[in-house]
Structures are given as C-alpha cells and as structure tokens.
Amino acid sequence: MLKIDSHQHFWQFHPVKDAWITNDLKVIQRDMLPEDVEPIMPEHGILGSVAVQADQSEAENDFLLGLADKHSFIKGIVGWVNFKADNIEERLAYYSGIKLIKGFRHILQAEPDEQFMLDEKFMKGISLLSKYNFTYDILIKPNHLPYLKTLVAAFPDQKFVIDHLAKPYIKNIEISRWREDIQAIAIHPNISCKISGMVTEADWANWKPGDFTPYLDVVFNAFGIKRVMFGSDWPMCNLAGGYEGVLSIVESYMSRLSLNEQELFWGKNAMDFYAL
C-alpha cells in the first residue's frame, strides 16, 4: 500500500526567527531536518512526504526546495507567498514554473485579526491560486471556522485542505461547536481535511487512543473517505508521542475500514490533491 505523509516541517533552528519554539518545546528546539525523519518512514511503509512551510518568507520556499533536491522522499512543497502583495500574481506565475511547489499556506492562526482570511486583498490573492493549479493549506483554530465557511464558499474551484482538523480542543474534551462548524464546511466539495496534529491538541503526556475517536468520527463522517489524508505533523508530534504514537492512533482507527478506503486515506488522496 502506497503511503504518503502529507504534512512534515523542516527547519534550521534560529532563536530569533523561530522564537515560537519556546523553552517548553525543548524537544524540537534544534535543527529538524529530513535526515532526522527519513530512517523512520520506511519502517511504516511511508515512501514520500509533503514539506509544509514553517516560516513566512519566500526564503522558506528556497530552503525547502534545496532539501527536496537532496532528499527524494519529499514529493511536494507547500510554500509561502504574501497574498496581500501587489505583485502576488507575478509571484504565483513564477512558482508555477517550479514543479515541486504544489501550493501555499499562511499562518492564519497567528494573525491578531481572526477574520484576516476575509481581508479583501488576501481574498484577491486566494482567487488567483486556481489559475495556476495551486492548493491552499488552512492553518487555523476552531474560532476561525465560521470565517472559513465564507472563504471556501467564495472560491468553489479552489482546492483547500484544513490542517490538523482545525485544532479542536481535545485536551478539554470540547467538541460540539467544532463539530457543527466542521460539518457545515464539509458540505463544500472543494475542501479536504488532514488527519494530523491531533496529539499536540491533547494532553501531551497522558493521552489515550480513545481520546481522538470522537473527533475522527466527525471528520470521516463529514468529509467522506475521499477527502481525508494522513499527516504526521513531524516534528511537532515529537512533543506528544512521536511518529509511532501518531501512527498507532490512526492505524487503529483505519483498521475498521476496507482496503480500498485505507489506500485512499494513506496515499491516493494526498497524491491526487497535491498532484504528486
């Protein structure tokens, strides 16, 4: 079975640039590079990955492209551009000539304005993505979901994917409002969801596999098997169980599904979404 990890990050740690990696995140407060995760992946049958931006600069795109040039398991890159820039179309046209750049992401969850995604200039940038066949990764928290409904509805031809289930409050066992918003968004056929980032939203040291089942049920029921994909969120997952811990949760959940459904989830959906 072909398996693709649709969500990995890499960085060369710098205390200023990476100030978000605070002292309570010591386990990832260092360089995190492809050679650190590459030996783990074949043990679990994972043959490729998508590298996702962690820094909001075009230098990040060059950094990830350089890593992909040396590590063939990186099959695609989700980079960054300034969607509000006057020359946004020029930048998208430029990146459309680089085969490994599959789409883009902005760290919406960190914006002081939780309605940032509905800014007129930002939306104009998003409106240009489909022209160049780029995807868009959505990094948000549950409070942003009502605005996401508006964004997704505005661009029915744009391929969107929610990262990390929109970070539900698993540790606090809060689900009802998040569930309602997820179900409302999933009505739109142009949006998918990554099964990623769950362990860092749980109790890092004490989570149990069953803690995630209600949230997985919501996503699988809302999106259907053709619009969900596996992502490890490495190296962030090292904070709360590591690669093996993430896989144990998902493998247990997926074991109840048919072989065809498992193949879609583990690899085919990501291959199709990102045109890997």
Helix axes 120-127, 145-154, angle to 10 degrees: 50
Q: Identify whether 235 is preceded by a cis peptide bond (ω within 30 of 0).
A: yes
Q: Provide the mean pLDDT of the chain.
A: 97
Residue 18 pLDDT: 87
Domains and their CATH numbers in the chain: 3-274 (3.20.20.140)
pLDDT of amino acid 124 = 97
Q: What is the pLDDT of residue 14?
A: 87
pLDDT digits (tens, 9 = 90+) for 29-43: 999 999 999 999 999
Q: List the one residue out of 241, 168, 170, 235 whose CA is nearest residue 204.
A: 241
User: Parallel, antiparallel, or unpaired for β 135-138 and 101-106?
Assistant: parallel
pLDDT score, position 255: 96
* pLDDT surpassing 90 at residue 242: yes
Whether the predicted pLDDT of 15 surpasses 90: no
Q: Is residue 75 very low, low, confident or very high in pLDDT (cuts 50, 70, 90)?
A: very high
The CA-to-CA distance between both ends of the chain, in Å, stands at 16
Encode pLDDT of 179-197 as tens digits.
Answer: 999 999 999 999 999 999 9
User: pLDDT tens across 21-74, in order?
Assistant: 888 888 999 999 999 999 999 999 999 999 999 999 999 999 999 999 999 999
Q: Where are the alpha helices (H) located in the chain, listed in sequence order?
A: 34-37, 58-70, 88-95, 120-127, 145-154, 176-186, 213-223, 242-254, 259-263, 269-274
**Residue 19 reports pLDDT greater than 90:** no
Q: What pLDDT sits at residue 20?
A: 87
What is the gyration radius of the CA atoms in the chain, in angstroms? 17
- Across the range 109-129, mean pLDDT stands at 97
Average pLDDT of the segment spanning 105-134: 98
Q: How far is the C-alpha of 11 from the C-alpha of 27, rounded, in Å?
A: 14
Q: For the whole prediction, is pTM greater than 0.85?
A: yes
